[in-house]
Amino acid sequence: MEYRKEHDSMGEILVPADRYWGAQTQRSFDNFRIGTEKIPEEIIRAFSYLKQAAAIANLRLSRLDEERAQLISRVAEEIREGKLAGNFPLAVWQTGSGTQSNMNVNEVIANRGNELAGKKLLHPNDHVNMSQSSNDTFPTAMHIAAVLEIRDRLLPAIDLICGTFRTLEDKYRGIVKSGRTHLQDAVPISFSQEISGWRASLEYDREMIEASLAPLSYLALGGTAVGTGLNAPENFDAEAAKAVTELTGCTFRTSGNKYHALTSKSELTAAHGALKALAADMMKIANDVRWLSSGPRCGLGEIRIPENEPGSSIMPGKVNPTQCESVTMVAVQVMANDTAVGIAASQGNFELNVFMPVLIYNFLQSVRLLSDSLRSFNDHCVTGIEPVREKMHENLHRSLMLVTCLNPYIGYENAAKTVKKAFADNISLKEACVALGFLTAERFDEVFRPEEMAGEDA
């Protein structure tokens, strides 16, 4: 491999000749060879918006000349287009402020910009990092990345699966089945009502996630080192936020209190709480689906789901609910990530939080996993859910909890006696009720209508 010499305030260091990063990136790369987890691509993309916005703001405020501003913008756009992939190698497990990743982007933009210009116009600190500090850029990149990934990736995935559930509701309206509480038989419910519960859970989660975007839209940029705005011109924060808005199509605002913005990560913590709520509901829905499809002969067997892969290396013909298992594993990871996010957010000491890389790594992993999992579950499982009508009918009419509809006619205690006798003697509710003298056979038939117990939807 060929190398070139780069320098920083600590002296010279060799850098791979085919890479655009500089001395500070190389030092971090050498000093933190820890794990395989790299700073997420979403953060690098957010930095590209941030650096371009800062250049625009500095130009508008007469701090940066037009040639340099345009050069920074051009390279920032190349980053978003994927043309500079491979130039952002740093580990999550670096400085807790993300300083080296900020400098990684600064150095790549400066070196690539100078290459495009054919002369040395850009300095990573003096121009690309003008009016900024790692202490305000990294938290800004965190918020930008969180908002864009939720808007562009997660919300559409939720909408997709909710639309599928709504289609299933309409398609299977009128099918009545046994409800279940405590994993025990309960009163009837229609299949469409059950599906509507799944859909509504995700829709409520969506509302909570969307509500978390407003606090995330406030940016730390302009606070510089400790929140005072040292070395940033007046109105830089507002102009930079305006430029980020123009570039991303999302509304961003400057934070009203930069001391809070640098040290507190409450907005990300709250937003991840909403992601955890979604994960919890996805766990519940996936478990419902695999319970209802359990079998094919020795389980509940009330629904069929697509058969996607062979399920066993030893048991021929076995097929497993693999999409459900994938969803539940994703849910476990998101719930675990919430712990990491919460602990990291608590580590704001004085004027800065220094657990930011691990916080945003876990946050963005949750968004990514949930988005992909929702689409996979929708495409490979939910769209193919079919009711097994005969099994639903059989289980419905075998349920002893149908006796609940007799409460108004024979009372709760006599209804309980009817259930106990029917279960002990292995006879029907009708036979038990008549044998106990609570109702005649004719009257029983008049009031006992299981299919009507689920309400209007049935």
CA 77/CA 145 separation, integer angstroms:
16
What pLDDT score was predicted for residue 97? 98
What sign for the dihedral angle of Cα 325, 330, 334, 340? positive
The residue-averaged pLDDT of 86-102 equals: 98
Q: Compute the C-alpha angle 355/356/359, nearest 5°.
A: 90
pLDDT digits (tens, 9 = 90+) for 308-363: 999 999 999 999 999 999 999 999 999 999 999 999 999 999 999 999 999 999 99
pLDDT of 457 over the 70 cut? no
Q: What pairs with residue 190 in β-bridges?
A: 176
pLDDT digits (tens, 9 = 90+) for 370-393: 999 999 999 999 999 999 999 999
What pLDDT score was predicted for residue 448? 96
Average pLDDT of the residues of the chain: 97
> Is residue 312 annotated as a catalytic residue, yes or no?
yes
Q: Compute the C-alpha angle 394/400/405, nearest 5°.
A: 105
* Catalytic residue (choose from 7, 266, 312, 346): 312
Tell me which residue has tokens 């909890």.
Answer: 401
The residue-averaged pLDDT of 273-301 equals: 97
CB atoms within 10 A of CB 138: 28
Q: How confident is the model at residue 455 (pLDDT cuts 50, 70, 90)?
A: confident
Domain 3-130, CATH number (from 1.10.275.10, 3.40.50.20, 1.10.357.10, 3.40.50.300)? 1.10.275.10
> Helix, strand, coil proportions of the chain in percent (round to 5)?
60, 10, 30
Q: How confident is the model at residue 427 (pLDDT cuts 50, 70, 90)?
A: very high
Q: Compute the C-alpha angle 335/378/269, nearest 5°.
A: 25
> Is residue 48 annotated as a catalytic residue, yes or no?
no
pLDDT digits (tens, 9 = 90+) for 211-242: 999 999 999 999 999 999 999 999 999 999 99
Going from N- to C-terminal start, the domains of the chain cover 3-130, 150-215+259-389, 399-452
CA 150/CA 60 separation, integer angstroms:
30
Peptide bond before residue 40 is cis, with ω within 30 degrees of 0 = no
Q: Two tokens at 265?
A: 């990560």
Q: Which CATH class is domain 150-215+259-389?
A: mainly alpha
pLDDT digits (tens, 9 = 90+) for 159-186: 999 999 999 999 999 999 999 999 999 9
The residue-averaged pLDDT of 95-114 equals: 98
What pLDDT score was predicted for residue 456? 64
Q: Which CATH class is domain 399-452?
A: mainly alpha
Considering the chain, what percentage of its residues have pLDDT values greater than 90?
A: 99
Closest CA to 110 of 145, 79, 143: 79
CA 225/CA 102 separation, integer angstroms:
13
Considering the chain, what percentage of its residues have pLDDT values greater than 70?
A: 99
Strand spans (E) along 255-403: 303-304, 348-349, 352-353, 386-387
What sign for the dihedral angle of Cα 208, 214, 215, 219? positive
